[in-house]
Amino acid sequence: MTAQLPKLIATSVVRGSQKGQSHGGVYLIDFETQRVEQKIDWNTGDIDFTGRGWDRGLRGIEFTDDAVWIAASDELFCYTPEFELIGAYRNEYLRHCHEICRRDHLLFLTSTGFDSILVFDLLQKDFTWGLYLSKNGKEWVAQRFDPRSRGGPAFVNSYHLNMVRVDANGVSFSGLNTQALLALSADMTVSEICNLPRGCHNAMPFNEGILLNDTGSDVVRYVSRNGGGVAVPVPMFPTEELEFQGVDDSRIARQGFGRGLCVINERLVAAGSSPSTIAIIDLVEGKRLSAVNLTMDIRNAIHGLECWPLHW
Lowest mean pLDDT among 183-197, 240-254, 291-305: 240-254
Domain boundaries, the chain: 7-307
Instruction: Give which of 288, 263, 271, 299 is closest to 215, Cα–Cα.
Output: 271
Q: What is the pLDDT of residues 115-173, one digit of tens each?
A: 999 999 999 999 999 999 999 999 999 999 999 998 899 999 999 999 999 998 899 99
Q: Work out the average pLDDT over 266-275.
A: 95
Residue 248 has pLDDT above 90, yes or no: no
3-state helix, strand, coil in the chain (%, to 5): 5, 50, 45
Q: Work out the average pLDDT over 36-62.
A: 69
The SS3 call for residue 241 is helix
Encode burial over 180-211: b for 16+ CB neighbours within 10 A, e otherwise.
bbbbbeeeeebebebebeebbbbbbbbeebbb
What 206-215 contacts at long range (C-beta under 8 Å, 24+ apart), as own/partner pairs, is: 206/263, 207/266, 207/283, 210/181, 211/261, 211/263, 211/269, 211/283, 212/261, 213/258, 213/259, 213/260, 213/261, 213/271, 213/272, 214/258, 215/257, 215/258, 215/259
Residue 21 has pLDDT above 60, yes or no: no
Lowest mean pLDDT among 50-54, 74-78, 80-84: 50-54
Residue 36 pLDDT class (50, 70, 90 cuts)? very high
Q: State the fold for domain 7-307.
A: Neuraminidase (2.120.10)
What does pLDDT average to over the chain?
A: 89
Query: How many Cα atoms occupy the beta-carbon half-sphere of 165 within 13 Å?
Result: 23
Total-model pTM: 0.91
Q: What is the pLDDT of residues 193-215, one digit of tens each?
A: 999 998 899 999 999 899 999 99
118, 127 Cβ separation under 8 angstroms: yes
